[in-house]
Amino acid sequence: MNKKAMYNLSYGLFVLTAHQDGKDNGCIINTAGQVTSTPNRISIAVNKQNLTHDMIKATGKFNVSIISQAAEYELFQHFGFQSGRNVDKLDGWVYAQRAANGVVYLTKGVNSYISATVEQAIDLGSHTLFIAAVEDMDVLDDTPSATYAYYQSNIKPKPAKPAAPAGKTMWRCTVCGYIYEGDPLPADFICPICKHPAQDFEKVQ
């Protein structure tokens, strides 16, 4: 079995937003897709560690803003590399508007948004898969959508590979650059910054 086949699945990138008790929040996901057209439904898979997950579970409403090739790295840092449990990500983020469903969507670095209402929530262990009815949507500009591959090649800065001190081994998260010191990297290790698994780390000798 060649596990690298998984890398050849293509993914989009999205800012998933929710609203609960007067609070807005959002996170980055790469797992939104249309699953039926009549009626129009989308699915999203969301890590349970994300505050946005709990807000969607509680309210049944969310927006998906589709990230475009015009997005800057700051968007990923802001919505992807920090938790809404510690910071109010929408406070002062001026590139956002409130949709008819009461949930914000982003207006910069994205080309469209979709508002949806949850019909089914399927427990997948680490994630919940939400199946949701599309309630509203709009196209904001015609910049092509950013795929995960586009992000890796064109948006994410290429950090210089740090040199490990002689005799030491480090593991670097290829998603956010976090460094784990020690060897081996535990197989169940989760990056504390971006929550990606051990498979997304590379060895730095």
Q: How far is the CB of 108 from Fe ion (least distance, A)?
A: 24
Q: Is 204 in the site for Fe ion (CB under 5 A)?
A: no
**Cβ-count burial 6-20 (b if 16+ within 10 Å, e if not):** eeeeeebbbbbbbbb
Of the ranges 25-33, 41-49, 115-123, 188-196, which one interacts with Fe ion (CB under 5 A)? 188-196
Question: Three-state secondary structure along 11-70?
Answer: CECEEEEEEECCEEEEEEECCEEEEEECCEEEEEEEECCCHHHHHHHHHCEEEEEEEECC
Question: Toward Fe ion, which CB reaches closer, 81 or 135?
Answer: 81
Q: How far is the CB of 163 from Fe ion (least distance, A)?
A: 20
| Amino acid letter, 27 | C
Q: Which residue from 3, 141, 2 is spatially nearest to 65, judged by alpha carbons? A: 141
Q: Is 118 in the site for Fe ion (CB under 5 A)?
A: no
How far is residue 73's CA from residue 81's CA, in Å, rounded to a whole number?
A: 11
Q: Is 173 in the site for Fe ion (CB under 5 A)?
A: yes
Of the ranges 126-134, 142-150, 157-165, 191-199, which one interacts with Fe ion (CB under 5 A)? 191-199
- Provide the token pair at 41: 């439904």
Q: Is 185 in the site for Fe ion (CB under 5 A)?
A: no
Q: Is 15 in the site for Fe ion (CB under 5 A)?
A: no
C-alpha 95: how far from chain center: 18
DSSP 134: E
Can you tell me which of 176, 185, 189, 201 binds Fe ion, judged by CB under 5 A?
Answer: 176
Of the ranges 11-19, 88-96, 144-152, 166-174, which one interacts with Fe ion (CB under 5 A)? 166-174
Can you tell me which of 115, 175, 180, 189 binds Fe ion, judged by CB under 5 A?
Answer: 175
Interacting residue ranges for Fe ion, rule: CB under 5 A: 173, 175-176, 178, 191, 193-194, 196
